[in-house]
Structure 1
Amino acid sequence: MKDQYHELYTTFRWWVPQRFNIAEACCHRWTTTSVDARRIALYSEDETGNREVWTFARLQEYANRLSNGLRRMGVQRGDRIAVVLPQRPEALVAYLAVFQLGAIVLPLSPLLGADALEYRLRDSEARIALVDDSSVAKLQSVLDRCPMLRQIIGIGTEDDDSLPWRTLIARQESSFEPVVTLAHDPAILAYGPGPSGSAKGALLPHCALIGHLPGFVASHNWFPQTGDVMWAPAEWSWASGLFDALLPTLYFGHAILGTRGHFSVERSFQLLERYQITNLYLPRAALTSMMKAEPTPAGNQQLALRSVAVSGGSVDDATAAWAQSRLGVTVNEVFGHAEACYVVGNSHEKWPARPGSIGRPYPGHQVAVLGNDGHPVAPGEVGEIFVNRHDIHGHPDPVMFLGYWRDDEATQARFQGDWSRTGDLAKVDEDGYLWHSGRTDDSFDASGYRISPEEIEQCLVQHAAVAQAAVVSAHDADRGALIKAYVVRAVDTPIEDAELVAELKSLAQARLAPYEQPDQIAFVNDIPMGPTGKVQRQTLMAREAAKAPPLPASPALPALLP
């Protein structure tokens, strides 16, 4: 294969129209002819196996009805509308409806704990929230503390305080005149991980979708091709699911699969075969789970995969070889953040993919690994990954976020001149490939999610028997990275260790998202602290690293190769 990277990277030019709206680009323009309007936009399947098929015409009709309903509720340009829904058709309808109103989508995961949900609703001053049974009870528990939230729209809920979705939709007209938006008008307010009171909302413009397209196209081996169908288990409430899968797929007029229910390997293979998925986007933890559940190359499914993009951690040689033999594809690793997503990655049909490397900067993005002196590090040295506001030709990069919600100080701290820091460390080799080397802060990845230790610690110390708590990543041979909490008991607490563990897990279950709940709890006499009182997590992480077994040689690896 000829390495085409240099030619593609140096010749790429952005074209961003002055007027641009995500709803127009992802749906409305596909309804202008009857042929396109009948194209399938969404396959939907819930955890019980119920299935729906939505065309672009149906999506547009429902989006128009919801836009009319929201307008009659008083929603205006710039208002924040919370969408607290899983991967279901109504979530996509809500996004499109809010976009074409010129309002701002606040995507929130139904998995968020009550405290995190309340903080994001209050901080954003969201006016309306759309919920279903997965989130309505949690929302009701914090409603009294969210004074700006004036209306809840319930989808299939029995809640008396919610306006039923079906009633609202049925009363509205099916035509709507969209608000004209500029490309750099705000469209999405995406909150990252973090404890309540410090999680920051990244404000993303409509043109951020355009900024994601080079990485999306490249990581999926020049998407779209005839018959392409996308699936990404990542929630649409996260930037990875929304911008790295859902919206780019619809932008190109192709179908995506939306699923509800917990990720399972058995179901994943069934879905891949049933819908003849050609393009798959996964967190690394999910791909590893698939390999461990089906380690042998043989499989009974008739798969149609032609690309797999993976984020959230480095793919090792064994997993890469398994994907090649079991799934029939070479994995393309990708990297990015909500503030500037899909900026680095691989595209193995255009340039060689190196297992374990997060790739090279995608066309259109100027990326550098800088040292503390602000200069590029030498090959093999560790520095922080930075993304420039401009591409290599000096043109603005449309992927860049507008700033943090009502926090100019945090926005300014993010930048060094035109360079935006990511908080991720990497090495760069002689050929320009980046190799992830951890984080500059204390967050870490577990089960495909970015974990903020502080939020979990704040929850645990609410228990009267806990004096201090510190959370770090722990290694498990089968499950990979886990969440481990070190706890110092309060003085003179008679409760037994086993009972306290049960109570702490119950507290975490009530207050935190499922992916934030500690997998392990250990009691210690003290937690290492620095001179300023900051927890020295590196000391705790060093303890965990010492317990982790060395990575074994893989004598079975050659057998996985075709």
Structure 2
Amino acid sequence: MTQLPGLTPQGAWDVPVRLNMAAQCLAHPADQVAVIDLTGETRRDVTFGALEEMADGIARALLARVARGDRVGVLLSQSPRCAAAHLAIWKVGCISVPLFKLFKRDALSSRVGDAGCGIVLTDAEGADLLGGLAAAAIVEEMGREGAEVAFADTAADDPAVLIYTSGTTGAPKGALHGHRVLTGHLPGVAMSHDHLGQPGDCLWTPADWAWIGGLFDVLMPGLALGVPVVAARMAKFSIDGCQDVLAAGGVRNVFFPPTALRMLKAEGAVVPGLRSVASGGEPLGAEMLAWGRQAFGLDINEFYGQTECNMVASSCGVDFAVRPGCIGKAVPGHEVAVIDAAGAPADMEGDVAVRRGSASMMLRYWNRAEATAEKFRGDWMVTGDRGVWEGDFLRFVGREDDVITSAGYRIGPAEIEDCLLTHPGVATCGVVGKPDALRTEVVKAYVVLKPGVSVGVEELQGWVKERLARYSYPREIAFLEALPMTVTGKVIRRELRAMAVAEGDAA
């Protein structure tokens, strides 16, 4: 395999003792393009020199208001100033807290309050959203004129960013990461884009930069590797809007969340001209991968990780054939295992875990010592996902609390969802276990049909029976207008499980 960034030639982590992520991102010629800004009426190419000037303007304003180690919120959509805000916070030795513009007041309040943010870098719209929860500092008002700000002398393990989980399995928790977290992402990001950094590469994602997928799978690795990153705003994801961004930005490398891919597939989109497409967050399945080859003319590289320890497994189509149903191989530098309850390697299905020492692993949960301790099993950080090895490929079975036990069988919902998605009438779906006195649980599917389509329960049951094990077909199917989703587009199965339990109680 080609030498990967972030690693020594021997495959060990190349993390210096003293490290500041802002310096890591800005270590390029001043006239080199850093961000392609499509947020205005015309394209604007922002160089690394201009980006650092923006960051210094923000940093000078911060130095008068914060102390080292303070948490500073960033409530900004994709834009050069969003990138500059994080860089400024790291430059002065503070901790950035990404916040999402689509959060309602309670979501903002819980994160700002838990993190103890005294100040939030934002714009006029964000200041209205905050409504006094913290002091709002408008980044557009922070000028560029003034002395250059020195990079704080920080260690690789000094706290740099506090990212809250998306809440698929409970209340969001703050994962505190050190300055080494960016280095920890580099090998996996490079793999997922067939060795990102080739001549002409240009990176974009429709995912907001408030999430680890946008911030550390795209923006910061792109800056660190010197790959231009496109900043664009889409009020609502659409094929036309996507095509416009790809064309205007000269995009060659895209991270599409699974939800975006499903929308493109439902509309029969064809997107030529890309060099790489990466996806992560939920397994895609064979049907989606086959569609991707037709739509993009290349293999979609799936990757795997979570807010607490990201980019630990990935496919890389130029190095090895993508295997449908698997989420790739362990990324060099990360030791990934499937372990049993005692923490020993499991020969069959078990808990997906990552050994301590991965550079992208969190330092701890913020203000949650007990939750931090529960996250580890000896030397292993347990992801909460179930998996199984197929040679050196990792197959995702499901969240530990998503696996369905029915009549003695352990059934992963992902495979059933993948099968239902191959039906031409199904737009999206979620599968959970519903309590059952006879079988412990029965498989229950919640299905959203494509507009104007009429499909019956028996047809969908037969569809699954013909393609999967007969014991795993959904014995119950309910049709919904929409599935409960996190703001990052992941199905919230715990809400579906709650619906299933309520239906059982009502019966």
TM-score, structure 2 as length reference:
0.78
Report if aligned partners of 1:116, 1:195 keep a CA contact under 8 Å in 2. Answer: no
Structure 1 pair 24–535 and aligned structure 2 pair: CA distance change class (3 A): closer
Q: Given residue 400 of structure 2, which amino acid in structure 1 is its aligned partner?
A: T
How far does residue 537 in structure 1 lie from its aligned partner after superposition?
A: 2.5
How far does residue 10 in structure 1 lie from its aligned partner after superposition?
A: 11
Structure 1 pair 82–22 and aligned structure 2 pair: CA distance change class (3 A): same
State the partner residue of 1:354.
Answer: 323
Structure 1 pair 407–103 and aligned structure 2 pair: CA distance change class (3 A): same
Kindly provide the CA deviation profile for residues 172-205 of structure 1, in whole angstroms up to 9, marking residues without a partner as x: 5151122111111111001113499942111001
How far does residue 306 in structure 1 lie from its aligned partner after superposition?
A: 1.0
Structure 1 pair 428–476 and aligned structure 2 pair: CA distance change class (3 A): farther
Structure 1 pair 408–372 and aligned structure 2 pair: CA distance change class (3 A): same
Structure 1 pair 268–543 and aligned structure 2 pair: CA distance change class (3 A): farther
State the partner residue of 1:260.
Answer: 233
Q: Given residue 52 of structure 1, which amino acid in structure 2 is its aligned partner?
A: R
How far does residue 402 in structure 1 lie from its aligned partner after superposition?
A: 0.3
State the partner residue of 1:283.
Answer: 257
Instruction: Find the aligned partners of 2:198 and 2:43 in 1 and give their Cα distance.
Output: 25
Q: Given residue 95 of structure 2, which amino acid in structure 1 is its aligned partner?
A: I
Secondary structure of the residue aligned to 2:143 is: helix
Q: Given residue 416 of structure 1, which amino acid in structure 2 is its aligned partner?
A: R
State the partner residue of 2:94.
Answer: 103
| Aligned partner (choices 475, 488, 494) of residue 447 of structure 2 | 475
Secondary structure of the residue aligned to 1:263 is: coil
Summarize the alignment of residues 471-510 of structure 1 with structure 2, pairs less than 5 Å apart: 474-478=446-450
| Aligned partner (choices 381, 392, 396) of residue 420 of structure 1 | 381
Secondary structure of the residue aligned to 2:37 is: strand
State the partner residue of 2:33.
Answer: 40
State the partner residue of 1:222.
Answer: 195
1:152 maps to 2:109:
no
Secondary structure of the residue aligned to 2:63 is: helix
Instruction: Find the aligned partners of 1:473 and 1:41 in 2 and give their Cα distance.
Output: 45
Report if aligned partners of 2:166, 2:487 keep a CA contact under 8 Å in 1. Answer: no
State the partner residue of 1:432.
Answer: 392
Instruction: Find the aligned partners of 2:319 and 2:352 in 1 and give their Cα distance.
Output: 23
Instruction: Find the aligned partners of 2:193 and 2:491 in 1 and give their Cα distance.
Output: 34
How far does residue 316 in structure 1 lie from its aligned partner after superposition?
A: 2.7
Q: Given residue 26 of structure 1, which amino acid in structure 2 is its aligned partner?
A: C
State the partner residue of 2:142.
Answer: 168
Q: Given residue 254 of structure 1, which amino acid in structure 2 is its aligned partner?
A: V
State the partner residue of 1:126.
Answer: 117
State the partner residue of 2:286.
Answer: 317
Report if aligned partners of 1:100, 1:179 keep a CA contact under 8 Å in 2. Answer: yes
| Aligned partner (choices 333, 342, 349) of residue 302 of structure 2 | 333
1:244 maps to 2:213:
no
Report if aligned partners of 2:20, 2:151 keep a CA contact under 8 Å in 1. Answer: no
Secondary structure of the residue aligned to 1:37 is: coil
Kindly provide the CA deviation profile for residues 5-44 of structure 1, in whole angstroms up to 9, marking residues without a partner as x: 9xx99941222111111110101x21xxxxx211111112
Instruction: Find the aligned partners of 2:60 and 2:112 in 1 and give their Cα distance.
Output: 23
Secondary structure of the residue aligned to 1:135 is: helix
Report if aligned partners of 1:10, 1:363 keep a CA contact under 8 Å in 2. Answer: no
Report if aligned partners of 1:116, 1:196 keep a CA contact under 8 Å in 2. Answer: no
Report if aligned partners of 1:66, 1:169 keep a CA contact under 8 Å in 2. Answer: yes
How far does residue 213 in structure 1 lie from its aligned partner after superposition?
A: 1.0
Instruction: Find the aligned partners of 2:118 and 2:2 in 1 and give their Cα distance.
Output: 51
How far does residue 214 in structure 1 lie from its aligned partner after superposition?
A: 1.0
Instruction: Find the aligned partners of 2:215 and 2:389 in 1 and give their Cα distance.
Output: 29
Secondary structure of the residue aligned to 1:202 is: strand
Report if aligned partners of 1:85, 1:134 keep a CA contact under 8 Å in 2. Answer: no
Greater displacement, 107-116 / 131-140: 131-140
Kindly provide the CA deviation profile for residues 455-512 of structure 1, in whole angstroms up to 9, marking residues without a partner as x: xxxxxxxxxxxxxxxxx98332449xxxxxxxxxxxxxxxxxxxxxxxxx9xxx9xx9
Between the aligned residues of both structures, percent identity stands at 32
State the partner residue of 1:522.
Answer: none
Report if aligned partners of 1:385, 1:422 keep a CA contact under 8 Å in 2. Answer: yes
State the partner residue of 1:23.
Answer: 22
Structure 1 pair 325–260 and aligned structure 2 pair: CA distance change class (3 A): same
Kindly provide the CA deviation profile for residues 530-561 of structure 1, in whole angstroms up to 9, marking residues without a partner as x: xxxx99928828989xxxxxxxxxxxxxxxxx
State the partner residue of 2:128.
Answer: 137
Report if aligned partners of 1:276, 1:305 keep a CA contact under 8 Å in 2. Answer: no
Q: Given residue 213 of structure 1, which amino acid in structure 2 is its aligned partner?
A: L
Q: Given residue 19 of structure 1, which amino acid in structure 2 is its aligned partner?
A: R
Summarize the alignment of residues 298-309 of structure 1 with structure 2, pairs less than 5 Å apart: 303-309=272-278
Aligned-CA RMSD value: 3.6
State the partner residue of 1:485.
Answer: none
Summarize the alignment of residues 158-237 of structure 1 with structure 2, pairs less than 5 Å apart: 165-169=139-143, 173-194=146-167, 198-237=171-210
Number of residue pairs the alignment of both structures matches: 436
How far does residue 514 in structure 1 lie from its aligned partner after superposition?
A: 6.1
How far does residue 360 in structure 1 lie from its aligned partner after superposition?
A: 1.2
Secondary structure of the residue aligned to 1:96 is: helix
| Aligned partner (choices 54, 58, 80) of residue 50 of structure 2 | 58
Report if aligned partners of 2:20, 2:155 keep a CA contact under 8 Å in 1. Answer: yes
**Contiguous gaps of at least 5 residues in structure 1:** 31-35, 155-164, 390-395, 454-471, 480-504, 520-533, 545-562
Summarize the alignment of residues 540-551 of structure 1 with structure 2, pairs less than 5 Å apart: 540=500
State the partner residue of 1:500.
Answer: none
Structure 1 pair 535–397 and aligned structure 2 pair: CA distance change class (3 A): closer
Q: Given residue 30 of structure 2, which amino acid in structure 1 is its aligned partner?
A: A
Report if aligned partners of 2:175, 2:365 keep a CA contact under 8 Å in 1. Answer: yes
